[in-house]
Amino acid sequence: MRTLLGVAISVRGEIYGDLYLSEREDGRPFDRGDEDIVVALAGAAGIAIENARLFARVRDSAETFQRLLLPTLSDLGPSPRPPSTVPRPSRTGSAGTGTTPWCCPTTRSAS
């Protein structure tokens, strides 16, 4: 190996790794243009890695939040009345069955 070009893959000062290139195909040494391209590529790689890590954190946080807020099925108990459906006018081009599920109220107000 006669030539080597190495660039750090980092975002906001955090280094994720390194990108190394050796030997240009035409045999010439790496120049400033090569370095600029590899620096840009390493920057894009760092952003992609950070975005993937942030996405995983957000997804994990959302799942934890759901588990904390939603009751478990055993805590729900039986429903006082089964759900019913009421007809809904179907719209041209809309998907679905034309009915909307809704739960019956358990008490009625005196009027």
Which band of pLDDT confidence, cut at 50, 70 and 90, is reported for residue 106?
A: low
pTM for the model: 0.56
Decide if domain 4-73 falls under CATH 3.40.50.2300.
Answer: no
* Strand positions, DSSP E, 1-111: 4-11, 14-22, 84-87, 99-102
The CA radius of gyration of the chain, in Å to the nearest whole number, is 30
Check pLDDT > 70 for residue 39: yes
Look at the block and give the residue holding tokens 């280094």: 15
What is d(CA 111, CA 107) in angstroms, rounded to the nearest whole number?
13
**3-state SS class at 42:** helix
Q: What is the pLDDT of residues 70-83, one digit of tens each?
A: 766 666 666 666 66
CB of 5 within 8 A of CB of 29? no
